[in-house]
Structure 1
Amino acid sequence: MNKVLVRFEEGLIAFLLLAATILLFTNVILRYVFSNSPTWAEEVIRYIMIWITFIGGSVCVRNYLHVGIDIFVSNAPPKIKKLLMMLAELVSALFCFIITYYGYENTMLVINTSQKSPALYMPMWFVYIAIPIGSFLMAIRFGINAWKTATDRLDDNNDKLDMSTL
């Protein structure tokens, strides 16, 4: 299941980055060479970047790339360090679940009000749903990280710390 999720996240991000790059390049050429660019291109790029941000957040959690203040954790004794790491991961998972809930509520409001994007007239729920999906994926990843910390399994290549030293 993890491999499927990893492939989905990384494949989606790669595809979206490629699409945004091609679209941006084409838009720049059309604007500056031909003095004519599509009105919808900037909107699509903005929406693609929103999706990349929220799905990329999950990839960052998986690879321990989120910014954190770890001065207390770094200077704590090994058992306290493990406890603090688990607590931080569980609080982060809880926060992401809260964002998932409110993101879902917000998406449902957008669906019920039938909001459309200004240039494409595309349903705006397609953009807003990136929030609960990305937050849910981050929450799952934080939960997995907390489990790895609790069971001393942080020794894979993608993991931040080798818990066998604790």
Structure 2
Amino acid sequence: MAVNTVANVIMRLGFSSSIFFSEELNQFLIILVTFVGISEAARMGRHIRMSAFTDMLGPRASKVMMIFITLGTASLLFLLAWYSVDYVSSLITSNRLTPALRIPYYLTVLIVPFGLCVTGIQFVLAALTNILKPGTHLSYQVEDTFDDADEHHL
């Protein structure tokens, strides 16, 4: 994405002509990075979370809350994946093409249902890890740790 953007700027400034597909390619790459990235963030326990409330709870209540949150998040992601499959299906039947590259538009968003579904699976695995293992886990491989020493730095 960076190489494409820099090349387009050089072309525009140096040769007064843009790369005709540059903006479109960057849009596709942003979609790809986003929906691959959310799954990786969930796998590594690096997703955005509001931990102030759960940090005040005891270990057992925090664990129960984490199970509830991860299952709720997984459910929402699977629902969004379902809707995105419907959207991709409608794009397939519309035969819509991208303006610059003239490729079927649905190819550019196929990663969306896949990314949402894989991320949902990551949250289900986090819930199962919290159910089956001691401690509170942000993902199936990352345990939540709270250090009282961090409180003094605030």
TM-score band by shorter chain is: 0.7 to 0.9
Matched, 1:131 2:112: yes
Give me the whole-angstrom Cα distance separating, in 2, the residues matched to 1:104 and 1:155. Answer: 28
In the alignment, what sits opposite 1:5?
Answer: none
The CA deviation at 1:152 is 2.1
Unaligned runs of 5+ in 1: 1-19
Report if the CA contact (8 A) 2:24-2:100 is conserved: yes
- Which of 142, 146, 152 aligns to 1:159? It is 142
Question: TM-score, normalized by length of structure 1?
Answer: 0.80
Unaligned runs of 5+ in 2: 147-154
- Which of 19, 30, 33 aligns to 1:52? It is 33
The CA deviation at 1:155 is 9.8
Choose 1 or 2 for highest CA Rg. Answer: 2
In the alignment, what sits opposite 1:21?
Answer: 2
Runs of 4 or more consecutive aligned structure 1 residues displaced over 4 Å after TM superposition: 153-156
Give me the whole-angstrom Cα distance separating, in 1, the residues matched to 2:51 and 2:74. Answer: 17
Give me the whole-angstrom Cα distance separating, in 1, the residues matched to 2:59 and 2:3. Answer: 48
CA deviation profile, 1:83-141 (whole Å, cap 9, x unmatched) = 00011000000001001100000000000111111111111101221210110110011
Give me the whole-angstrom Cα distance separating, in 2, the residues matched to 1:43 and 1:133. Answer: 21
CA deviation profile, 1:32-57 (whole Å, cap 9, x unmatched) = 11111221111111111111101100
Give me the whole-angstrom Cα distance separating, in 2, the residues matched to 1:115 and 1:142. Answer: 34
Question: TM-score, normalized by length of structure 2?
Answer: 0.86
* CA RMSD between the two structures: 2.0
